[in-house]
Structure 1
């Protein structure tokens, strides 16, 4: 295969609609815009959300609460995920990113979902009380 052999799939490319090219084209005279009215004129633009004078949806729906823009978001890691690491390793944020368990953009919190059987050192942003208890019971340690 070479660059000169490449072509788009059949039917994936359409010709541009050429308006104002005579009666016979089917798009002559008014060029598919109809007669008069705002939509027939150049420069017309409809306000986003405008519903022809009807009360727009974003005003009909009830408003409740607010969004805290300073909220701290955590990537959640379960104890059963930590069990995949070898005994004696230090499990920190970078190790979890390398293992593909978190994306690395958020802080990391370990929750007590599942069981852990290996003694690992956990060094992340937050660890729940139950998770910390299970990690220490398995012979590991927790640093926050």
Structure 2
């Protein structure tokens, strides 16, 4: 057992920083590890991707793909997860299952730009879902269990359908 006056950091846990430009004996004197002359020996140089005037790789390669700026980012929840929440008593199947109810039940962390219900898993309870989007298999499974799916207007406005 060590005494209070013997307490110190572990060996090597605190490393002294390299002080550049402090003489030849330091190993980092004179040019301070920057080499000789040139752009990168100067201060304020940021040359990521610069290839000395040659056309850089990221400009030589062709542009690919398309990014749809109007795409909605849905948070997805499966029927299995909804059924688990109902079984645990966190969701009330007699009331409409809304996006806010799913978050409150812990089935989702947050509603992004709406909720999409996926058809994976099995739904036994008769529920009324009020969500932004649902897959064909999810709608079929909910209707088979005796429930209904209502799509919210925000998703329909952007061209999304239940299909």
Q: With structure 2 as the length reference, what TM-score do the two structures score?
A: 0.70
Corresponding position of 1:118: 125
Name the CA shift for 1:121/1:11 in 2 (closer, same or farther; >3 Å): farther
Kept after mapping to 1: 8 A contact 2:21/2:29:
yes
The aligned length equals 138
Partner of 1:63, secondary structure, is coil
Q: What RMSD, in angstroms, separates the aligned Cα atoms of the two structures? A: 2.5
Extract unaligned runs of 5+ from structure 2.
1-6, 87-92, 152-163
Name the CA shift for 1:50/1:118 in 2 (closer, same or farther; >3 Å): same
Distance 2:28 2:8 in 1: 29
Distance 1:69 1:8 in 2: 53
Deviations 1:39-62 (A, max 9, x none): 22334x143311234432211322
Distance 1:139 1:7 in 2: 69
Extract unaligned runs of 5+ from structure 1.
1-5
- The ranges of structure 1 where at least 4 consecutive aligned residues each deviate by more than 6 angstroms after the TM superposition are 6-9
Corresponding position of 1:3: none
Partner of 1:83, secondary structure, is helix
1:93 is displaced (CA, Å) by 1.0
Name the CA shift for 1:30/1:128 in 2 (closer, same or farther; >3 Å): closer
Q: With structure 1 as the length reference, what TM-score do the two structures score?
A: 0.77
